[in-house]
Amino acid sequence: MSWATHLLNQQLWCFGRDIKYPGNLLVAHGFERIPPPEGKTCSSVYRLNLPMVGRLMLRGFGAFYGEDGVGGVFLSRGDFGPLLTPGADLRCLPWLPESLPPMRAPTKDELAHWRYLTGVLVGWLRLYERWVWVEAGPEHREDAVDRWAQRGRPVVAAGEMSVAWGRVEEWIQGRPETSLHGRVHAD
């Protein structure tokens, strides 16, 4: 499992702790909490409309960012390799991984879209971690990461999460010839 996958797993765990913070940090950050339909036993979807034309959705199994005129990218909890979808929005809310639209590794012609969309999503994660550090205080994130560590998982220190996302962002910008999968879908 890649280092970025471990970081994403930890981030998704931390989002779960953030929603338990008094007032729900995701909602305080501007996310809309969408509870599951009656009869579904899964957790809520969190959706954030970003300025202009973008939207972000968070689930326990991954994160989606879509932008009008560009498409969408999904980062899966189990494999950080970003996958593209032509749609900039998820027509069906992603209650389960099976609810996601068809996704695939980028073609060579799509690498610029892939880098752009993934860079926006990772940049948002970096800025969100800075915001949590200030909004909730270091103790909140340190507690979340300590609980993550108790599960025996690889850990990025609480105070280093924003920096770590910055490193991923730099890596994406510096790798014009490949996707994070290390492969490109055949044209």
Percent of the chain with pLDDT over 70: 93
The structural domain count of the chain equals 1
> Mean pLDDT, the chain, as a whole number?
88
Strand, helix or coil at 132? Answer: helix
Is residue 182 in some structural domain?
no
State the greatest distance between any 2 C-alpha atoms of the chain, in Å, as a whole number: 49
The sign of the CA dihedral 182, 167, 175, 114 is: positive
Domain of 49, in residue numbers: 3-53+68-173
Strand, helix or coil at 85? Answer: strand
- pLDDT the model gives residue 90: 79
Is residue 42 in some structural domain?
yes
> Please, which residues bridge with residue 66 across strands?
55, 72
Q: Are 45 and 95 in contact (CB under 8 A)?
A: yes
Q: What is the pLDDT along the chain (187 residues), one digit of tens a residue?
A: 588 999 999 999 999 999 999 999 999 999 999 999 888 888 999 999 988 789 999 999 999 999 988 889 999 998 888 899 888 777 778 888 888 888 999 888 888 888 999 999 999 999 999 999 999 999 999 999 999 999 888 889 999 999 999 999 999 888 655 444 444 444 4
Report if pTM > 0.85: yes
Is residue 27 in some structural domain?
yes
Is residue 164 in some structural domain?
yes
Is residue 89 in some structural domain?
yes
Is residue 178 in some structural domain?
no
